[in-house]
Structure 1
Amino acid sequence: MARKDHYYNKAKQEGYRARSAYKLKQLDGDAGLFGPGNTVVDLGAAPGGWLQVVSEEVGDHGKVVGVDLQRIRGIDRDNVQTIRGDMTEDETKEELTAVIGERGADAVVSDMAPNMTGEYSLDHARSVYLARQAFEVAQELLATGGDFAVKVFDGPDVADLRADMEREFQYVRSMRPDASRDSSSEQYLVGKHFLTAPVRKGDELDVEIVDVGSEGDGIAKVEEFTLFVSGTEAGDMPTVRVTDVKPRFAFAEPIDDED
């Protein structure tokens, strides 16, 4: 039996609206996207197979919001809400923000794909365009440390999209679930731990060391964000280069004065 038949039949037997439900299950199993009590947004959610999966994973204390231009047939779960609208329009984003709350979403996912033309370069470019739209919306909705997963077709434009995501997440993985058809060129870019820090890896800036941490590193503040600077003491005012960024703090090293 072909793999596509296996997942199609499995979805029918287990009550999922689309075989793509198993792609999300596999992404979650490998990357740990969801947990009990999470708030999750599904962009381009019709027909609702991913909403079903997320609803099960976040449980009764979680919240799942699906957005699509198409009508999404109601899902009989109290933790699922749907919004019919264009995810890029301010009205839709305002409605989304009101539903998920000021704290933001723990994860944003998107399985959107363009209408296929059969022309590889055009289909690839359109898929990257949709993925970038989802990425931009995710940056507005995610809480610090949140995760993002988006489908994109293989091709030359994926590298630039991934590089842009890598500036906004602690790390990014490229994943291909086993449930993807062999003939498909799809992959999923998964960004883990959204960064809301005012600095990024490689930034150079002047700071003042205001304290020393328990590990002996100097502590500087950048817009109330904590920056640990090795080899410094309270009162120092070095120029530093950021070497690593976490969701709630970052590390830096002093730049040697070459003059």
Structure 2
Amino acid sequence: MARKDEYYNKAKQQGYRSRAAYKLQQLDEMEDLLSDGDRVVDLGAAPGGWLQVATERVGTGAVVGVDLQRIDPIEGVETIKGDMTDEQTREEIVERVGEADVVLSDMAPNMTGEYSLDQARSVHLARQAFETACALLRPGGDFVVKVFEGRDLDTLRDDMEAEFEYVRTTSPAASRKESSEVYLIAKGFLTAPVEEGETLTVEIEGVGSEGDGIATVEGFTIFVPDTDEGETVEIEIEDVKPRFGFAKRRD
């Protein structure tokens, strides 16, 4: 039995709206994306296979699907008919879920049969989803997006890596063998007011349990070894996490 038949038939038997439901299941198993209580936004969600999986896995959380097309009702899921790039649509999403823990996008462009054009459109869609995710995610949140392999994919990934702790490129078993689609899984959304390599002058406001000095920049905590409370020092940012960073003193 061909893989596409296996997942198509399995979806019919198990009541999923698309074979793509198994892709999200497998991506979740790879990277632990969905947890009980999570607030999830699915961009381009029709017909709703990913919404079904998401609502099964977040339990007491909230799931919102966004699409220009109408999505038939799914128990426990809210849907918004609108353009994900529209500010009014984003505001409505925030009203429904607040900050999102996870943003998903399995969107693909309308296919023309000309691969270079279809691939470019897929990257454009993925970038729109990425920009939307950055507007919706909480610090430390995760993002998953589908894109076709080819031109500008590395640039998109580089841009995503600047906003997340790490980004992985993968292809779940449920993807068709002949497909050029891959998924970028971005973990740990960064909202720090500082960047790696940046230098600045800070005051050491205290000392942590490990003996490192503690400074804050716009409420963001930075640990600085070899410093004492009350010192004013020049530092260079070495590593940035969603809620804190590490730096070395330069003076």
2:65 matches 1:66:
yes
Per-residue CA distance 1:12-53 (angstroms, 9 max, x = gap): 010000000000000000011111111100000000000000
Runs of 4+ in 1 over 3 A off after TM superposition: none
Shift of 1:233: 1.6
Per-residue CA distance 1:78-114 (angstroms, 9 max, x = gap): x20000011111111111111112xx11100000000
Per-residue CA distance 1:144-195 (angstroms, 9 max, x = gap): 1111000011113111111111111111111110100111111111111111
The residue aligned with 2:57 is 57
The residue aligned with 1:125 is 120
Match of 1:73, SS state, is: coil
* AA matched with 1:72: I
| 1:36-185 superposed matches below 5 A | 36-59=36-59, 61-75=60-74, 77=75, 79-101=76-98, 104-185=99-180
* AA matched with 1:73: D
Aligned length: 251
For residue 235 of structure 1, the aligned residue among 207, 230, 233 is 230
The residue aligned with 2:243 is 248
Shift of 1:230: 1.6
Match of 2:205, SS state, is: strand
Q: Following the alignment from structure 1 to structure 2, what is the Cα–Cα distance between the partners of residues 220 and 46?
A: 46
Residue segments in structure 1 that go unaligned for 5+ positions in a row: none
For residue 213 of structure 2, the aligned residue among 215, 218, 221 is 218
Shift of 1:235: 2.6
Shift of 1:238: 2.2
Q: Following the alignment from structure 1 to structure 2, what is the Cα–Cα distance between the partners of residues 240 and 155?
A: 40
Moved more, 7-16 or 234-243: 234-243
Q: Following the alignment from structure 1 to structure 2, what is the Cα–Cα distance between the partners of residues 227 and 126?
A: 40
Per-residue CA distance 1:100-138 (angstroms, 9 max, x = gap): 12xx11100000000111222211111111011011111
Match of 1:23, SS state, is: helix
The residue aligned with 1:191 is 186
- Aligned-residue identity in percent: 65
Shift of 1:231: 1.7
